[in-house]
Chain A
Amino acid sequence: MLRNIFIKRINSGKTQRGYPPIYRRVTSSRVLQISAVLLIAFLLIGLAALSFGSARIDLTRVFGCLFHAMGGSQSCSPQDELILFSIRLPRIFFAAITGAALSLGGVVFQAILRNPLADPYVLGVSGGSALGAIIGTLIGAGSFYLGIPLLAFLGALITVALVFVIAGGGSGRIPDNYLLLAGVIVNAFFSAAILFFLSLADSMELHSITFWLMGDLARVSGSGIIPAAFCVLVAFVMIYSQARGLNLMVQGEETARQLGVMVEKTKYTLLIITSLATAVVVSLCGIIGFVGIIVPHMMRLLFGSDHRLLICASALFGATFLVVADTIARIIIAPAELPVGVITALLGAPYFIFLLRRKAF
């Protein structure tokens, strides 16, 4: 029985793809409505995430502290205040930024490479950023302002260039699998290089290997969050300003050119800005996988492929997704914590295989 259903699903072919069966025009008001709904969902989940943790703080106390912080008369115990505002809130905020950045990265790489399985993790861009950041730490770049994010950015750019050379510059003539294979190889190399550098390093300096290989939001320090948020915001604005161009890029570079897109300019601007956003978050929290595949794919299922809607929806849902994943990571083996990368990989790898098998993106 189950087997029959499974086979039917595979054999159902092109026409049975689960995309929204009803076509609805993408208008500015529809983009605003959907964004508003996703934003409200994000805020509600953010509130819930504030409440959950190894020390449970129920919602009335959370609200009490929030109003207290805004100058209200409600009371808030010093212990709650410390947990909520010094530990959980910055972490949730950074989880949101990271989720948005990685999802945006997925959207951009998928559009430019015309491959629905591309994202910063699969292509090795996250790995390149992490390697850059580790080298930066080892050579003492941390003593310069933004020294480590800059080296992470350099690592990301080199990786993008490498993947493009291997995969033929996104000319569209290279089979999909080739691109994924290029990513696998680049990733394997970076993982090895990361482990190599970590084993050379003074153990006091970098005592946690998993932090880089399996991203962990617990280690993020407060000072890096605001510049990172700023970078991701700039990236979002720049990516969104190219949304219509991306719709055409998906139709092939030649078609995009024929319809009036400045293909090279758009492509390189977006690759650089996406690498920057990825590098900034990875330099703070390490490699978090699969977010950039799951989120854009789910948003395409729900809202279609128009990037004017897809970019907003992916950024907002990506933020929500990683907040949820991180909350699970915080509570699942409480009082201990898992790195959030474990959760996203456990969810993401089966999803990836499912997409690959179904060939429906």
Chain B
Amino acid sequence: MALLEAKEIGFSYGEKQILTDVSFTLDSAQVTAVIGPNGSGKTTLLKIINGTLFPASGEMLIAGRKTQNWPRRELAATAAIVPQETPAVFPFYAEEIVLMGRFPHLSGLRFEGDGDYRIVQEAMRQTDCLSFAARRFAELSAGERQRVLIARALAQEPQVLLLDESTAFLDLKHQVHFLNLLRQLNETQKLTVIFVTHDINLAAQYADQIIMLESGKIYAIGNSAEVITADNIKKVYEVEVLVDCNPQSGLPRMTIVK
């Protein structure tokens, strides 16, 4: 059985139709990229996949069960999402933010135990956050905050990790470091990864499968060679590009043509 299955999903905010008839199945332990222009419904799709939002029509199934029928905590322990930003009204420290990822695993008022702190420390080590664990979240740079949020999602110990443009604020080193970490978690812990990105080359290099959205509909779905073509990009993004082969990986590589 497929881990994630979307059946003819439709969604709208008021009058505005965001997603129409979106269907796909994703097997576990795959890395999937979601690409598409601004406003094509990428973030909404992520939120539907992890049950933050429920589809207005159609069904979103995780392990064969509709997201509406999952208890909140179990859902949070299964599918974690890394948001683009989070408001910082009150002064929490970086480690406290990551500790919040343990919420679905602890019942009631229990305080985090040694095991939880180990998991949190490991998540922060993986995302290179330990050096600012004791600093206030609001004082960190956008890239550092994003890494803390990624650590929080890892602390949830999910089967599915969803990322909403998480690499946008990261510098080149942390981008590559982070995507390698995702591949590594994918291979060692069979983590299923779905990431939304504007970086088409990044998607082409790291994803097993790419979903290309255009105004709320799936325009193309498949491996990178099938989806990343000059024709598709011209249709969806209205930009002339050159697509050739990355000489090292053999995967498609996109270059902007003036």
Contacts and interface: CB of A to CB of B under 8 A. Distances in A.
Nearest to A111: B90
Contacts, number: 97
A62 B100 CA distance: 48
Interface string B71-111: 01111110011010011011111011100110110101101
Given A14-B138, A14-B139, A15-B139, A300 B108 contact: no
B52 A258 contact: yes
Interface centre among B73, B103, B156 (most CB of A within 10 A): B103
Interface stretch (A20-28, A73-81, A182-190): A20-28
Contact of B100 (A17, A22, A259, A262): A259
B136 interface: yes
Contacts of A308: 109, 111
Q: Which residue among B89, B96, B134, B135 has the maximum number of chain A CB atoms within 10 Å of its CB?
A: B89
B50 interface: yes
A17 B88 CA distance: 13
Contacts of B75: 260
Q: How large is the interface on A (under 10, 10 to 19, 20 to 34, 35 or more residues)?
A: 35 or more
B87 A252 contact: yes
A361 B103 contact: no
Contact of A23 (B52, B80, B95): B95
A259 B103 CA distance: 7
Interface string A328-356: 00000000000000000000000000000
B83 A255 contact: yes
B92 A305 contact: yes
Given A248-B100, A257-B72, 7 more contacts: A23-B133, A26-B96, A26-B111, A244-B109, A254-B52, A258-B50, A260-B76
Interface of A: 14-15, 17, 19, 22-23, 25-28, 110, 114-116, 172, 240-241, 243-245, 247-248, 250-252, 254-255, 257-262, 300, 304-306, 308, 361
Interface of B: 47, 50, 52, 72-77, 80-81, 83, 86-87, 89-93, 95-97, 100-101, 103-104, 106, 108-109, 111, 117, 133-136, 138-139, 156
